[in-house]
């Protein structure tokens, strides 16, 4: 990888920032890591800030280099959300400005996808790109281009779920989403089937309009790029510094590729929590087990239970968030399918007060999520979180697992 001198300086500054962020505390305001440069080797700088629209609380962002396969026609897109709760790279067409080739189905028609997130869906063609993050390069990766101009509109099977299509920078609050969770692709075998067993994510889309669900082989589905790297490809580590009780305007950390593949990514004494077929584990809180729990850097709070169950009151100004009258120290036990468990302390502060600081990074922001624990970005501060990908071998056993 050839690096220009200016880029080298940026990486040096980012490395300095990553080194000095560990102490946490109040607003740092370090602009050097607000738009992380491309890293080297298996280390990619990441930053928590308010994002490219300036309204994203607890979003963690990085840069991704996308190229037309086999060429040097590339675009480096910054402000891409680092998301352990999804699988695959999705980039807004308006930010990519690069004509990637469409993937086509057996009939020669472009393939479109509606990818469902909790609060929105993304719609656009499946294109093919060479993807580079730090020094790791994955060739010929199926990616989703969101809001591609001239592409047919989403089928009614996508719009009938009621959540909006996020296809603009203003809506998404990020220029793309880098899904690096515990699975290699965004659907798996069910999307390979024909008939009613197919959940209906991939569509055959001639220019006259999408005509119906298309059976999509797993390797053609939008892919988590990490398993496609030549090395350091069995998982990732998300490493963010601690932040203080009133949050921080920015937090600079690292995304490391590979688990136990290099001197800088060993598992150490982290506890391995094996994930189930859905990528979930069990959280035990006040003696009750919640089996649909997971760790998600794309969730911007610790979303768990509801006021009636948790005993924590909701907010006057921020609906869906928790607003205790004084900050709470709580603990829960996370248990994997392998029966390994780890007790985890967490704090919940008054979300209305946190939001009034104008800060971006909070380790104690909580909200409701009936019946489950969604360990969102607050969980990541002051930790190394290991994400082992399904089917990959690691020193801690095969993925999928979470470890910390």
Partner 1 sequence: MADIVGHRKSGLIAIALLAANLAAAVVLVRSARAALGETADSVRVDRSALHGELAASSHRDFTIQRISTPAGIVVNEYVSGAGTVFAVSWRGPRPPDLSKLLGSYFAEYRDAAAKPNPQRRHLRIQTEHVVVESGGHMGDLWGRAYVPSLLPSGVSVEEIK
Give residues in contact with partner 1 (CB under 8 A).
55-59, 85-87, 115-119, 155-157, 160-164, 173, 179, 181, 183, 186-188, 190, 195-201, 209-213, 278-280, 292, 294, 296, 298-301, 303, 306, 308-309, 318-321, 355, 367-372, 374, 376
Closer of 127 and 374 to partner 1 (Cβ): 374
CB of 218 vs partner 1, minimal distance in Å: 13
CA distance 299 to 372: 13
CB atoms within 10 A of CB 69: 15
Minimum distance, C-beta of residue 162 to partner 1, in the bound complex (Å): 4
In whole angstroms, give the CA distance from residue 74 to residue 230: 20
Closer of 14 and 111 to partner 1 (Cβ)? 111
Spatial neighbors of 184 by CB under 8 A, at least 6 apart, are 87, 218, 223, 224, 227, 389, 390, 391
Q: Count the Cβ atoms, other than its own, within 10 Å of residue 315.
A: 19
Token digits for 87?
A: 């699988």
Q: Tokens 């080739």 identify what position?
A: 101
| Rounded CA separation 296/135 (Å) | 25
Please state the closest distance from residue 403 (CB atom) to partner 1, in A.
Answer: 18
400 preceded by a cis bond (ω within 30 of 0): yes
Is 75 in contact with 49 (CB distance < 8 Å)? no
Q: Is the dihedral of CA 394, 395, 400, 404 positive or negative?
A: negative
Q: Are 62 and 48 in contact (CB under 8 A)?
A: no
CB of 330 to partner 1, least distance (A): 18
Minimum Å gap between C-beta 85 and partner 1 is 4
Cβ-based nearer residue to partner 1, 299 or 392: 299
Nearest CB to partner 1, comparing residues 30 and 346: 346
- Looking at the Cβ atoms of 358 and 370, the one nearer to partner 1 is 370
Nearer to partner 1, 13 or 337 (CB): 337
Please report which helix (H) or strand (E) contains residue 15, including its range.
helix 5-20
Closer of 39 and 247 to partner 1 (Cβ): 247
Give min distance, CB of 202 to partner 1, in A.
Answer: 11
Question: 7 or 355: whose CB is closer to partner 1?
Answer: 355
Q: How far is the CB of 68 from partner 1 (least distance, A)?
A: 27
Select 301 or 348, whichever has its Cβ closest to partner 1: 301
Q: Which residues pair with 49 in a beta bridge?
A: 59
CB 402 within 8 A of CB 394: no
Write down the least CB distance from residue 117 to partner 1, Å. Answer: 7
User: Which strands form 328-335's sheet, in the order they lie side by side?
Assistant: 341-348, 328-335, 281-285, 288-295, 369-375, 302-305, 366-367
Work out how close the CB of 374 gets to partner 1 at its nearest, in angstroms, rounded to a whole number: 6
């Amino acid at each position: 990888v050839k690096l220009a001198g200016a880029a080298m300086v940026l990486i040096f500054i980012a490395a300095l920032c990553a080194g000095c962020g560990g102490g946490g505390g109040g607003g740092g305001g370090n602009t050097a890591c607000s738009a992380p440069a491309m890293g080297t080797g298996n280390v990619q700088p990441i930053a928590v800030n308010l994002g490219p629209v300036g309204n994203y609380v607890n979003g963690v962002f990085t840069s991704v280099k996308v190229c037309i396969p086999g060429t040097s026609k590339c675009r480096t897109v910054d402000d891409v959300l680092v998301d352990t709760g999804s699988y695959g790279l999705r980039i807004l067409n308006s930010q990519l400005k690069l004509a990637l080739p469409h993937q086509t189905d057996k009939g020669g028609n472009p393939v479109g996808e509606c990818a469902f997130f909790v609060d929105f869906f993304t719609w656009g063609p499946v294109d093919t790109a060479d993807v580079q993050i730090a020094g790791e390069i994955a060739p010929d990766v199926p990616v989703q281009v969101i809001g591609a101009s001239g592409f047919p509109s989403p089928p009614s099977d996508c719009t009938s779920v009621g959540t909006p299509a996020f296809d603009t920078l203003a809506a998404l609050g990020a220029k793309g989403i880098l899904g690096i969770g515990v699975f290699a692709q965004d659907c798996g075998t069910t999307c390979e089937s024909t008939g009613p067993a197919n959940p209906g994510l991939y569509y055959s889309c001639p220019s006259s309009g999408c005509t119906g669900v298309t059976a999509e082989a797993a390797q053609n589905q939008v892919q988590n790029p990490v398993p496609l790297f030549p090395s350091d490809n069995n998982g990732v580590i998300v490493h963010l510094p601690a932040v203080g009780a009133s949050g921080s305007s920015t937090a600079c950390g690292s995304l490391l590729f590979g688990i136990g593949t290099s001197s800088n990514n060993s598992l150490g004494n982290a506890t391995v929590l094996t994930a189930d077929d859905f990528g979930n584990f069990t959280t035990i809180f006040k003696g009750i087990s919640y089996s649909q729990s997971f760790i998600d850097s794309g969730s911007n709070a610790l979303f768990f239970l509801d006021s009636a169950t948790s005993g924590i009151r909701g907010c006057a100004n921020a609906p869906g968030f928790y607003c205790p009258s004084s900050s709470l120290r709580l603990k829960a036990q996370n248990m994997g399918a392998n029966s390994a468990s780890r007790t985890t302390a967490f704090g919940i502060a008054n979300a209305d007060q946190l939001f009034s600081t104008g800060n971006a990074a909070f380790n104690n922001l909580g909200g409701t999520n009936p019946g489950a624990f969604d360990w969102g970005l607050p969980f990541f501060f002051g930790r190394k979180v290991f994400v082992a990908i399904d089917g990959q071998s690691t020193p801690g056993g095969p993925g999928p697992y979470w470890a910390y």
